[in-house]
Structure 1
Amino acid sequence: MKELRYLNKFLYKYRTKLIIGFFITITARIFALVAPNLVGNSVTLIENYVVSSSIELGELKNKLLLNITLIVGSAIIAGIFTFIMRQMIINVSRYIEFDLKNIIYMKYQSLTYDFYKNNRTGDLMNRISEDVSKVRMYVGPAIMYTINTLTLFVIVISYMISVAPKLTAYVLLPLPLLSFIIYKISKMINIRSKIVQEYLSKLTTFTQESFSGVKIIKTYTVEDSINQSLRVIASDSREKNMSLVKIQSWFFPLMILLIGTSNILVIYIGGMQYMNGEIELGLLAEFIIYVTMLTWPVATVGWVTSIVQQAEASQKRINEFLETQSTDLFDNIKKSDLDGDIIFNNISYTFKETNINALSNISFKVKRGEKIALMGDVGSGKTTILEILAGVYKPNNGKIFINNNDIKNISLSDLRNFIGYVPQSTFLFSDTIENNIKFGKAKALLSEVVLSAKTSCLDEDIKSFKDGYKTLLGERGVNLSGGQKQRLAIARALIKNPKILILDDSLSAVDTETEEMILNNMENTTKNTTFFISTHRVSTSKKCDKIIFLNNGRIESFGTHDELVKEKKSYFSIYSKQTQEKEIN
């Protein structure tokens, strides 16, 4: 139960509804217990009439009619209170489910990029759906049936002891054995429940990746191989589920056996006492009804135990990342303070997963409003520099200053609000083109959306679509070309009017003519914006104020285009090669 302590704050939050539900449960059980007593009384009346004629037929009819009326009335009242009880307690479970999903989603938003590199999307989806559903069963039905069972046991058994202690002792004889069996089986359920949830995550992850990569799967004609892999995972998952079900299946047969044993004891011991004149026949009938009433609550002990064990396994999986440290820092720097020069001072970064040293002792200064090109071979560290600046990664060593403010002391949300970032891999949402652009500025006017699209040379393409800016995109923008995706992502960044604009090889899918038009448009609309662009094209770097040329995670050259050409290092070689290719073409 240690993992489930996290839910105590939610139970306290909705304590009023739970307390009302608790007292209504007690009231409902009290009314439910009226019937057995009246049935026993009716049987005794009939026995007295048949055996000793101690009551007149007319009086018997009147008393039986009254008893029947009271039985029906108490059943109706008990039913109404039971309905209210469910509305109180089950509704609380839905409120807690809502709160927990929101907390998990907010936690997802605050976790580092490294967290998402180490955890699969399918597993994260499974935790916020399947695992939360398991937890909801604990704070809803499990609590409700536990209260119901405890209330019924206390009231029924107290009454049974008061009227026939010896018979009650025999009736309750199987219960300690039942408790021991539940304890042993519950431990096994807890272990197997966790394994089942883990395999469900694997299955969810595999299917999610298969759907996302269906184009690649079909292109490489590996459908049969993927289907075989799915069959293997599904088969393993089925085996684990069957292993869990086999243990769970012991509960109800054992309940029925033990309850049946109690009934036999009631009939045998009670019959002996009746023949000895110790109890009335009505009391024997009353006890049989009580045992029947206790059947379902006792049976639910196993079911509730199973729910609690599964909920604990699920909550443990949820707690694993709820306890993970979030990214943001809490020092307050005014947003206006971030508009200024940018300094990288001896920055180094090593990837934890591969231990690859991506950057070594990177130092440079960029003045406010300057345009900087980053060049170098694949894996030279261009993207890593831009992602560190955008707050995606934290450097292992060194410091970054923006307008003399150490980036470590800047709230990550404030930093990112100042930045317009277009990564290498463009992600678009399954929404309209307009809303995808407005993702960078939710309250933007349509005129602002159009202006951003014009700047990124996308406006004409959008107008050619039937629904224009209201065109609905498929998953990840599947109905757009690579160049259109990149230009839409650029428009999304531009609409923020960022103080720092980062394009990480974001023009690779457009031709040089379109690229030049976009850069010229941005020249006019982002005059006071500090601009970083990662590129392999000299035609792009020439338009920038400074060029940083990287080689194996280190700065090989830093300066203007003319300065780097005069150095005659790696940049000069690329410049010469691309110039010759342009002349040939």
Structure 2
Amino acid sequence: MRLFAQLSWYFTREWRRYLGAVALLIIIAILQLVPPKLVGVIVDGVTQHTLSGSDVLMWIGVMLVIAVVVYMLRYVWRVLLFGASYQLAVELREDYYRQLSRQHPEFYLRHRTGDLMARATNDVDRVVFAAGEGVLTLVDSLVMGCAVLIVMSTQISWELTLLALLPMPIMALVIKRYGDQLHHRFKLAQAAFSTLNDRTQESLSSIRMIKAFGLEDRQSALFAAEAKDAGAKNMKVARVDARFDPTIYITIGTANLLAIGGGSWMVIQGTLTLGQLTSFVMYLGLMIWPMLALAWMFNIVERGSAAYSRIRSMLAEAPSVVDGEQEAPAGRGTVEANIQAFHYPQTTRPTLENVSFTLKPGEMLGLCGPTGAGKSTILSLLQRHFDIDQGEICFHGIALPQMKLDSWRSRLAVVNQTPFLFSDTVASNIALGKPGATQEEIEHVARLASVHDDILRLPQGYETEVGERGVMLSGGQKQRISIARALLLDAEILILDDALSAVDGRTEHQILHNLRQWGENRTVIISAHRLSALTEASEILVMQHGHIVQRGNHDALVGMPGWYRDMYRYQQLEAALDDAPENTADEEPANA
């Protein structure tokens, strides 16, 4: 019953719908009390020869009219009650999605995608079912049960009613115990479903890699193990669930046995007529539904309570990065970074130490260094995915934590090292951040990203559906479409996180040339492993183990010993060797 208290905010707000449904349920319960009474009247009238045939037909007609009215009223209250519960589903999912969108990477380091999806679908469905069907069964069982008890006690015999109800307290205690077991086991079953959901999501997302490595059998075995575990936990739930109905039916059978035995003795003694006993047994039959409904209500409400606790735990998590209060100042500004120390959550060793730079409007900052040196971490801090432990990053002299996140991030256009495309058209993917963009604007940024010709070669050009995660495109095409998407935002600061790694050298050169023209008076930050992408940078930071080991422009770094010069020479030699076969092939006809 905890769930009803937890959802009281919604019941209070939607009180008109719920009150209307409850009122109709009460009217239906009262109407359902009439037929057993009429049957008793007919039985006594026929056995005592006090009713004519026309009277019998009249009472039968009344019962038919009541049945039609009950049918119509049931339709209306279902619309009211279940309409309210479905609206709750919409609101819960909206709140849940909004909460997920407010979270930062630290949150997604702790929670798996499959688990988050399970809470948004399966758990919400359980809560909604309890808020609809649970309320129905609670009200219906209480109203019908109380009404039947009152009629049986006042209109027939309170002694026989008390005798028939002797097994009920025992049943209530047993069902309460079942409900507690169900709550615990269903929570474990939902957690197992989340794990299974996560395994499914990972397998589908990485299906290409699984096939490339021939891991189909291994992944199938892992999935089968997760499915077996989920099935075992659900079987434990089913075992508890299966105990409800037998307990109810044993109780009802005992009640009927006591009612018929005691009632027969009362008929023999003359304190009860045969028609009254018939009515009593029919009323007792009407008690079957309230008792079954009450047990079912405990079942679905405990499931809903377990599911709602999982949803609430997620909604209660505050974002690790707190929103600021100031709007980002208008106009182009200088970015100043002084990162004294930063480490990721649940790690003790600093990821960055003593990293500082100043980036004026129109300048280009290059970041390079070995894998794991801290380049992407700097870019994450610039986007304020995490807060710095010691130090600060300022824009227009204002520290980033003081500015509103949306206001600051609206000044950024970001292309990540792993591009993501939605299952939509190429044009829609490019216009993701600016849905109202014209076709001319989309094609313009596609040309800047050197992907326009590739798009035209697709089956439907810009209207081609790229499939989930851009499955039909190459890595280079996805990167260039992502660059076009960022350029369309026309933001003040462009961040490229190793965004040219999948394109060839000639295309990279063309894109960088276009970016220099596009980026006039705009700030550009490029992280790259291929150093040819950084030759035009105003300043280059060479990172190693979270520290700056070298800094300067390209010409200065090439002229001093260190990682940058060695890597640049190596990459130049590698490029020359790659071009050698082409040059040899070009010279052979001339030598011939």
Structure 1 residue 262 displacement after superposition: 1.2
The verdict on how the C-alpha distance between 1:350 and 1:412 changes in structure 2, with shifts beyond 3 A counting, is same
Counterpart of 1:172 in structure 2 is 165
Mapped pair 1:20 → 2:35: no
Structure 1 residue 539 displacement after superposition: 1.9
The verdict on how the C-alpha distance between 1:338 and 1:46 changes in structure 2, with shifts beyond 3 A counting, is farther
Structure 1 residue 247 displacement after superposition: 1.3
Deviation string 1:60-102 (CA, Å, 9 cap, x unpaired) is: 2232122111111112112211221111111111110111111
The verdict on how the C-alpha distance between 1:545 and 1:3 changes in structure 2, with shifts beyond 3 A counting, is farther
Mapped pair 1:399 → 2:400: no
Counterpart of 1:352 in structure 2 is 345
Structure 1 residue 335 displacement after superposition: 4.1
Counterpart of 2:361 in structure 1 is 368
Identical positions, percent: 31
Q: Summarize the alignment of residues 523-542 of structure 1 with structure 2, pairs less than 5 Å apart.
A: 523-542=516-535
In the alignment, the residues of structure 1 paired with residue 554 and residue 14 of structure 2 have an alpha-carbon distance, to the nearest angstrom, of: 66
Deviation string 1:112-148 (CA, Å, 9 cap, x unpaired) is: 1111122111111110000001101110001011100
The verdict on how the C-alpha distance between 1:574 and 1:125 changes in structure 2, with shifts beyond 3 A counting, is same
The verdict on how the C-alpha distance between 1:484 and 1:373 changes in structure 2, with shifts beyond 3 A counting, is same
Identify which of 114, 119, 129 aligns with 1:127: 119
**Paired residues of 2:379 and 2:495 also in contact (CA < 8 A):** yes
Deviation string 1:248-284 (CA, Å, 9 cap, x unpaired) is: 1111111111111111122111111111111221111
Counterpart code for 2:404:
S
Q: Summarize the alignment of residues 25-174 of structure 1 with structure 2, pairs less than 5 Å apart.
A: 25-49=25-49, 55=50, 59-163=51-155, 164-174=157-167
In the alignment, the residues of structure 1 paired with residue 539 and residue 386 of structure 2 have an alpha-carbon distance, to the nearest angstrom, of: 24
Identify which of 482, 504, 507 aligns with 2:500: 507
**Paired residues of 1:341 and 1:403 also in contact (CA < 8 A):** yes
In the alignment, the residues of structure 2 paired with residue 477 and residue 548 of structure 1 have an alpha-carbon distance, to the nearest angstrom, of: 33
**Paired residues of 1:153 and 1:294 also in contact (CA < 8 A):** yes
Deviation string 1:418-452 (CA, Å, 9 cap, x unpaired) is: 11111111111110000000012111111111011
In the alignment, the residues of structure 1 paired with residue 559 and residue 217 of structure 2 have an alpha-carbon distance, to the nearest angstrom, of: 57
**Paired residues of 2:26 and 2:143 also in contact (CA < 8 A):** yes
In the alignment, the residues of structure 1 paired with residue 264 and residue 498 of structure 2 have an alpha-carbon distance, to the nearest angstrom, of: 90
Counterpart of 2:558 in structure 1 is 565
Counterpart code for 2:42:
S
Give the structure-1-normalised TM-score.
Answer: 0.96
The verdict on how the C-alpha distance between 1:523 and 1:22 changes in structure 2, with shifts beyond 3 A counting, is same
The verdict on how the C-alpha distance between 1:25 and 1:255 changes in structure 2, with shifts beyond 3 A counting, is same
Q: Summarize the alignment of residues 314-333 of structure 1 with structure 2, pairs less than 5 Å apart.
A: 314-326=307-319, 329-333=322-326
Counterpart code for 2:100:
Y
Counterpart code for 2:23:
F
Counterpart code for 1:12:
T
Counterpart of 1:445 in structure 2 is 438
Counterpart of 1:428 in structure 2 is 421
Identify which of 172, 183, 187 aligns with 1:190: 183
The verdict on how the C-alpha distance between 1:405 and 1:568 changes in structure 2, with shifts beyond 3 A counting, is same
In the alignment, the residues of structure 1 paired with residue 348 and residue 58 of structure 2 have an alpha-carbon distance, to the nearest angstrom, of: 84
Counterpart of 1:339 in structure 2 is 332
SS at match of 1:249: helix
In the alignment, the residues of structure 1 paired with residue 237 and residue 250 of structure 2 have an alpha-carbon distance, to the nearest angstrom, of: 21
Counterpart of 1:52 in structure 2 is none
Counterpart of 1:476 in structure 2 is 469
Identify which of 544, 547, 566 aligns with 1:551: 544
**Paired residues of 2:328 and 2:403 also in contact (CA < 8 A):** no
Structure 1 residue 577 displacement after superposition: 3.0
SS at match of 2:525: strand
Mapped pair 1:308 → 2:268: no
Counterpart code for 2:552:
G
Judge which range, 12-21 or 345-354, deviates more.
345-354
Counterpart code for 1:571:
Y
**Paired residues of 1:328 and 1:413 also in contact (CA < 8 A):** no
CA RMSD, Structure 1 to Structure 2 (Å)? 1.6
Mapped pair 1:384 → 2:377: yes
Counterpart of 2:488 in structure 1 is 495
**Paired residues of 2:115 and 2:198 also in contact (CA < 8 A):** yes
Structure 1: gaps of 5 or more residues:
50-54
**Paired residues of 1:360 and 1:553 also in contact (CA < 8 A):** yes
Counterpart code for 1:79:
Y
Structure 1 residue 287 displacement after superposition: 0.7
Structure 1 residue 327 displacement after superposition: 5.2
The verdict on how the C-alpha distance between 1:148 and 1:2 changes in structure 2, with shifts beyond 3 A counting, is closer
Identify which of 227, 231, 235 aligns with 2:228: 235
Structure 1 residue 338 displacement after superposition: 6.6
Structure 1 residue 2 displacement after superposition: 4.7
**Paired residues of 1:437 and 1:491 also in contact (CA < 8 A):** yes
**Paired residues of 1:338 and 1:402 also in contact (CA < 8 A):** no
**Paired residues of 2:500 and 2:508 also in contact (CA < 8 A):** yes
The verdict on how the C-alpha distance between 1:167 and 1:15 changes in structure 2, with shifts beyond 3 A counting, is same
Counterpart code for 2:246:
P
Give the structure-2-normalised TM-score.
Answer: 0.95
Counterpart code for 1:10:
Y
Structure 1 residue 32 displacement after superposition: 1.1
Structure 1 residue 583 displacement after superposition: 5.2
Deviation string 1:12-45 (CA, Å, 9 cap, x unpaired) is: 2211100011111101111111101111111111
Counterpart code for 1:26:
I
SS at match of 1:362: strand
Counterpart code for 1:254:
T
In the alignment, the residues of structure 2 paired with residue 423 and residue 485 of structure 1 have an alpha-carbon distance, to the nearest angstrom, of: 11
Counterpart code for 2:68:
I
In the alignment, the residues of structure 2 paired with residue 362 and residue 3 of structure 1 have an alpha-carbon distance, to the nearest angstrom, of: 51
**Paired residues of 2:341 and 2:388 also in contact (CA < 8 A):** yes
In the alignment, the residues of structure 2 paired with residue 480 and residue 452 of structure 1 have an alpha-carbon distance, to the nearest angstrom, of: 18
In the alignment, the residues of structure 2 paired with residue 299 and residue 4 of structure 1 have an alpha-carbon distance, to the nearest angstrom, of: 19
Counterpart code for 1:252:
D
In the alignment, the residues of structure 2 paired with residue 60 and residue 347 of structure 1 have an alpha-carbon distance, to the nearest angstrom, of: 101
SS at match of 2:387: coil
SS at match of 2:287: helix
Mapped pair 1:486 → 2:499: no
Deviation string 1:199-235 (CA, Å, 9 cap, x unpaired) is: 1111111111111111111111121111111221111
Equivalent residue pairs, number: 577
Counterpart code for 1:94:
Y
In the alignment, the residues of structure 2 paired with residue 192 and residue 552 of structure 1 have an alpha-carbon distance, to the nearest angstrom, of: 47
SS at match of 1:206: helix
Structure 1 residue 337 displacement after superposition: 3.4
Structure 1 residue 326 displacement after superposition: 2.2
Counterpart code for 1:153:
G
**Paired residues of 2:130 and 2:304 also in contact (CA < 8 A):** yes
Structure 1 residue 413 displacement after superposition: 1.4
SS at match of 2:356: strand
Counterpart code for 1:148:
D
Counterpart code for 2:218:
S
